[in-house]
Structure 1
């Protein structure tokens, strides 16, 4: 099994952050709003049988800072992060009650339906692998949140999609996909995303309760360009003071700044989320930007609906979700379905 090039860096970041935060952060910052590490796996096999197609697999490691006084001088951030933030100052929000930062590193794989064909399947989506690093800035004022995220990365063979999928399928004893020779070519990609969210109601109960989070925003870049709107509803025991539990949402799943710490003892809830997007560009469907490559006739309007459960105990949180998506391009035979599993731990 060939180790993805990004894995040592991601593991190094994940192990270095706790020690750095403990040595440099004010004790109150760590006690009230400790940093966290999230690891998420998406896979269409979680969606059911015969679903090994479309967005077939993804893995994402996310590091979440404590609540910060600012993005450029706060000692809770490593020196390298502060240096990067000085160069990305235009992305920072204004003055808010709470703010924090995330850094994530991950990979996504996209494949057509027929795994056995080695030739170019013109009427199905291209083979594509995407490798991304993501810098995110969250700012909260009461029950409103703004999040801005800059993603930088690579699509194509350098993203190691074939190697990762072959290794996973080899471990599981599954058949390999034979058409990776037709994948999109190497291309640097970027995406600048901004979303705004509002949560109702404002009060947090200590027992059973519900809330709803609305969101709207968009993204621009050669990776993808879209506008979107949607919402999430939750019901359960000791709901967290954040902005959503859907692992696939920006600023969702334990990454938004909070006003209170986690609940004592067990807590858990169900969630239902929906999102509608007007898609102007998606490189995994439209193909390479500056070179000829395989592409399909994408549909401009795409919608997702997802549902799941989240359970928390002490420093740990687990979330399991399933997503159903409308068809993304003309001639797509099956409605995309995939699942997501996230494990989170505060430090």
Structure 2
């Protein structure tokens, strides 16, 4: 009888320990397989400027892990190298980017200054993650030109804040269907210090973009320190730019990290500087083939909510541009249910 009671007691202890361990794991990463929505707003207002790259905004949705199907399955298997232990996600987004010259009160064309340009696009993403490596294929299709509603968007925003409306949108890059396809790979190399209280990692990345909107090759390196860095590749950004993804791993309570990074791009074509591929435009400029971004920021997270701010310094993109550009990027992300 005593042996039977002892055996029963040991079994109960083992079951309790297993349940406690599972509970600890659940507490470490909750909502880990949930879908994510994110909203990103980039503007040179954060740097007290209002020219060159002046505004970018994007809303996106990213699924939880799911078996890819159709086009996503083809991309995951043949382009992203999906193995048997990998996780796949798909995402959709809607974004707009605006560019203006420095002197926005002038109604005449301004040779030598950044052309007026707007880009309104939809975005589809397939990504595969395995062993701290994320490979991502993104396709953007949209319109560059008056149909992208850049004049309406900028002047509406300026009216809201009591700013001066831009007068030269009649000189913007004309209408053209815009396509950009990007293939990126990121790796996360990290460790923990202080009994796991603080995590440090670095994320090297490289990729290529092809299309009439943008054609380039790019590489980057990001350093981060904080907590809850696992299964996270940095906050989302509006492309082109040194960005992460909409995905993040949530934990109960508060977590944080700070980061800094650099990206270099060799640019063969940019419709916002070179003009349309199949037509001539009123104003174009001589672009620099090599462009770099330096950025630093902070990410704050509470349970399923994430808020980030990034400050970006971008090297001169064209001849006689007046120097580097500076802008800020604010993003908000939230975990949804399992769909």
TM tier, shorter chain? 0.7 to 0.9
Report the number of matched residues: 301
Q: Compute the displacement of 1:253 (Å).
A: 4.2
| Cα distance, 1:32–1:198 mapped onto 2, change above 3 Å | closer
> For 1:274-285, what aligned pairs fall within 5 Å after superposition?
274-285=262-273
Q: Report the 3-state secondary structure (helix = DSSP H, G, I; strand = E; otherwise coil) of the residue aligned with 2:135.
A: strand
SS at match of 2:251: coil
Residue 95 of structure 1 deviates from its aligned partner by: 2.5
1:285-304 equivalent positions in 2, closer than 5 A: 285-293=273-281, 294-304=283-293
Secondary structure at the aligned position of 1:130 is classed as strand
Partner of 1:172: 161
Task: Describe the shift of the 1:193–1:92 C-alpha distance in structure 2 as closer, same or farther (beyond 3 A).
Answer: same
1:143 aligns with 2:135: no
Q: CA deviation at 1:155?
A: 0.2
Aligned to 2:27: none
Match of 1:307 in 2: 296
SS of residue matched to 1:245: coil
Give matches, 1:1-347, under 5 Å. Answer: 31-47=31-47, 49=48, 51-72=49-70, 85=72, 93-96=80-83, 97-201=86-190, 206-245=196-235, 247-248=237-238, 252-255=244-247, 261-293=249-281, 294-347=283-336
Deviations 1:203-245 (A, max 9, x none): 7985212100000111110000001111111011332421223
Asked whether the 8 Å contact 1:91–1:148 carries over to 2, the reply is no
Cα gap change, 1:279 to 1:144, in 2 (>3 Å): same
* Counterparts in 2 of 1:181 and 1:273: CA distance versus 1, 3 Å: same
RMSD: 2.1
Answer whether contact 1:207 1:238 (CA < 8 A) is retained.
no
The TM-score normalised by the length of structure 2 is 0.84
Structure 1 residue runs of 4 or more that deviate by more than 6 Å after TM superposition? 86-91, 202-205
Contact 2:235 2:331 in 1 (8 A): no
TM-score by length of 1: 0.82
- Cα shift at 1:114: 0.4
